[in-house]
Structure 1
Amino acid sequence: MMLSDEELTRYARQIVLPHLGGTGQQRLKAAKVAVVGAGGIGAAVIPALAGAGVGRLTIIDPDRADLSNLHRQPIYRSRDAGEPKAALAAQFVRRLNPFVEVAGVEQAIVPDNAAAILSGHDLVIDGTDNFATRLAVSDACVASGLPLLSAAAAQWQGQVGLFTGRPCYRCFVGDAFDADDCDNCAELGVTGTLTGLAGNLAALLALRLLAQAGEVKTGTVHLIDGLAGTQRPIRIVADPGCRACGTTSSQPPSSAPPSFSPAPSYP
């Protein structure tokens, strides 16, 4: 895809980057990304991708903005309370970058509609607030061969991982979280700067993947400790009995929790 003179000016500081250049910027313009969840994670991912010139964004979220969201969701304002997040986030993108096509989907993702909603994209970024949705998104990505960036944050902890088949996100969390019964933000709390950090790390990995800038490791989850100020990667081992990506379908799916308790991200 050719870049206009205005786009060349807008993205000049990116185009001069080693490993990106004009070719990488054209790849970003051609990319189609689905962002599932316009909460704390999405509020960092969406501006980063739109500002960088990702050509098409689909923002999927059934919820409405609330005053309790605003400490970690800076793309919304007090006057937006009660309005649909997907529509508000799409308006934000249009104001930020007119060269980005954007669509807001005010619909919850469930196993029955996940494949249809996510199809046609080059990458899916999940920042939703419950394991039922996360697993529905992951299973659809595995079935469709779509790369998935999963980002989460709760309290002072965050995690970001890229999955491209095996291992998948279900290998990481197992099947114990299929029920939508995880703790909520009001009970656990979440640090606004931590959601921003996790969301921006997810956006960085997305841009590198889409622009083919450097090596992006798959099956690795980056753990962020906001209190200690540290980050460390862990490798996820593929579960041969995983019902989404496993190779031994005769084995029952594993229900044992992972050694690191995964934390949902809260919108």
Structure 2
Amino acid sequence: MRLTEDQITRYSRHILLKEVGGKGQQKLLNGKVLIVGAGGLGSPIALYLAAAGIGTIGIVDADNVDLSNLQRQVIHFTPDIGKPKVLSAREKMIAINPDLNIITYNTWVSAANIAETIANYDFVIDGTDNFAAKFLINDACVLTGKAYSHGGILQFDGQTMTVVPGASPCYRCIFPEPPPRDAVPTCSEAGVIGVLPGVLGSLQATEAVKYLLGAGDLLTGRLLTYSALRMKFREISLKKNPTCPICGEHPSITELRDEIDALPACELGTR
């Protein structure tokens, strides 16, 4: 299918890039990305993927827009307070790019529904706000072979990495299990600078675009950390853990489970 004249104009700055061109833009239009979380991280991710022309974007979240969200969750506006976040996000994404197929899931991910939810997508982005969801997303993607981007933020600091199952370390290679309760403060306790998810979410969106294009170097085998206070990035090299409970030589996790005792993480995207 050829690009229309309107699409050539809309995506002209992409098409000028030798790494993209018309064929690459067609890959993006044919691509399918799932965003889990429509909050701090999910907001810039959703906006940039819509603008980039990712043809099918799924967005998962069961929360409603709250006044306290608006300091950082830039896809939601004051009139959206009380509205389901997935519907609020979809409205802004369609306003940017009406040609897209935006699929909303007004629910939380769980061991019972995540495999079916991610099945039809090429790439998954974790923008969730709790460790239970983060480990579940990792496990579901590893077991089904789906590439995904992890992201997390707290106060002035953030981190991100990309996981390509079978080819890179996974989240459990670094963190085998969730931290105990009360080990890490929640966002309502510790706070988060409003611009931080914009930085990390933009990086995660970039990884999704690169993955669909097959261009550049993905953030695999590397954990990228960012300090807004010091305005510094740091890259930590990672290796696959042979004793990883899900992707190691003798995995102990062979089916999905909910980490029901996991501590709520800080502002990682859905609240």
Report the counterpart of residue 262 of structure 2 in structure 1.
Answer: none
**Do the aligned partners of residues 2 and 244 (structure 1) sit closer, same or farther apart at CA in structure 2, a change above 3 Å counting?**
farther
Distance 1:180 1:55 in 2: 41
Report the counterpart of residue 258 of structure 1 in structure 2.
Answer: none
Distance 1:56 1:206 in 2: 12
Report the counterpart of residue 259 of structure 1 in structure 2.
Answer: none
**Do the aligned partners of residues 62 and 202 (structure 1) sit closer, same or farther apart at CA in structure 2, a change above 3 Å counting?**
same
Report the counterpart of residue 230 of structure 1 in structure 2.
Answer: 232
Runs of 4+ in 1 over 6 A off after TM superposition: 178-181
Instruction: Return the match for 2:195 from 193, 196, 199.
Output: 193
Distance 1:264 1:220 in 2: 22
- Letter of the 2:4 partner, please give it: S
After the TM superposition, which of the residue ranges 218-227 and 119-128 deviates more from structure 2?
A: 218-227
Report the counterpart of residue 78 of structure 1 in structure 2.
Answer: 78
User: Which digits, 9 at most, give the CA deviation of each residue in 1:221-256, with x for residues without a partner?
Assistant: 1100111101121122222222221112379xxxxx
Report the counterpart of residue 240 of structure 1 in structure 2.
Answer: 242
Report the counterpart of residue 6 of structure 1 in structure 2.
Answer: 6
- Once the two structures are TM-superposed, the CA of residue 176 in structure 1 deviates from its matched residue by 3.2
List runs of 5+ in structure 2 lacking aligned partners. 254-264
Distance 1:239 1:116 in 2: 28
Query: Secondary structure at the residue paired with 1:153?
Result: strand
- Asked if 2 retains the 8 angstrom alpha-carbon contact of 1:89 and 1:104, the reply is no
CA RMSD of aligned residues (A): 2.0
- Once the two structures are TM-superposed, the CA of residue 167 in structure 1 deviates from its matched residue by 1.2
Counterpart mapping for 1:1-267 below 5 A: 1-165=1-165, 166-177=168-179, 183-249=185-251, 265-266=268-269, 267=271
- Asked if 2 retains the 8 angstrom alpha-carbon contact of 1:148 and 1:164, the reply is yes
TM-score by length of 1: 0.91
- Asked if 1 retains the 8 angstrom alpha-carbon contact of 2:14 and 2:21, the reply is yes
Distance 1:144 1:180 in 2: 32
- Asked if 1 retains the 8 angstrom alpha-carbon contact of 2:159 and 2:200, the reply is yes
Query: Secondary structure at the residue paired with 1:160?
Result: strand
Count residues in correspondence: 257
Percentage of identical aligned residues: 37
Distance 1:178 1:62 in 2: 25
**Do the aligned partners of residues 249 and 142 (structure 1) sit closer, same or farther apart at CA in structure 2, a change above 3 Å counting?**
closer
Distance 1:264 1:125 in 2: 15
After the TM superposition, which of the residue ranges 174-183 and 24-33 deviates more from structure 2?
A: 174-183
**Do the aligned partners of residues 67 and 5 (structure 1) sit closer, same or farther apart at CA in structure 2, a change above 3 Å counting?**
same
Report the counterpart of residue 258 of structure 2 in structure 1.
Answer: none
- Asked if 2 retains the 8 angstrom alpha-carbon contact of 1:128 and 1:265, the reply is yes
- Asked if 2 retains the 8 angstrom alpha-carbon contact of 1:24 and 1:213, the reply is no
TM-score by length of 2: 0.89
